[in-house]
Structure 1
């Protein structure tokens, strides 16, 4: 029993150290990424503006973060400006079970938007969210408030850690997986938090970017 308590205390201490250094690492890497990727940011912004001069370059959306705290997440705009208002019309055509909404051929997505989604370049502005501390580079994807509203107590365990730009779900099949499979992958990640797992996901992310699967 005493040995079990010692092991448990050690694990708590190690996870606290891991979390502390992960936050610091996220800050440093996000600053470096924003500096190195600045030319790509400008190029994508210009392409979006050329396709529709009056539409905004960025898409801002409220997401749910660690411990249920809401925050504004940034992405490059991939849909028509009125996409959110039109969502109700397409809810019955949802192609994924559970609390998420996905359509392979969503008519609201623009031509440049399809390219950005295919390459995941639309996600780049989330690096700013990482710098702000809303997100981590690696962790569960941040859900929408309407999704969390129908979460079970079990599903809400996804919110125990800071959400990430990439994670176990993204490198394991993404939209090809069911909502239940996504939850299980996220909970596996939370139970096994470690630098080794983060590094493995980080490397797999580059493979997914080169050979995208389940992205739409």
Structure 2
């Protein structure tokens, strides 16, 4: 019998109270997800995280709306990644916010979800973020890859091993999974990921995965 999945703690950030309460209720219906707090804008989210950090109880994931007054989701994502690097940020988006999603990914967001995603997709995206994996919604990915900015350098700068690692990242594999697949250490896998991000001028695994889709190395799931 498989071990039960560990609980995921989540901070929900959205400026519309009714929407935020709906998202919270949605998450609370998931068996292994615990909502630890809510915030109405980016500044409030950072304050909440600072209080949680002081008590050694940071959430695993921040579920972040993008368009908010004051500090928006893009700026807040950058601040969270900088100040609380162990906390993952998953963007809640709609088709009208593709440009903002790009900006959030550049700030270090771990992934994105459509606001009408199913409960299974929500849980899968949260779990992927916690495991440092990539979850790509196929419909959003198609839109994102149409508009993704060209990297500073082409795929030709990657070694054969780094190219293999890029494909595995795009398939949603964690560093541990990559290491097992390629028969290398997890530390070496992590180094390969870091090198390919640097060479391609990318700031996140999700950006790397989108590039792999755009270049035809993998298909969106």
Give your verdict on TM over 0.5: no
Larger Rg: 1
Q: Which structure's residues are more often helix, by fraction?
A: 1
TM (norm. structure 2) is 0.27
TM-score normalised per structure 1: 0.28
Structure having greater relative contact order (Cα 8 Å, sep ≥ 6):
1
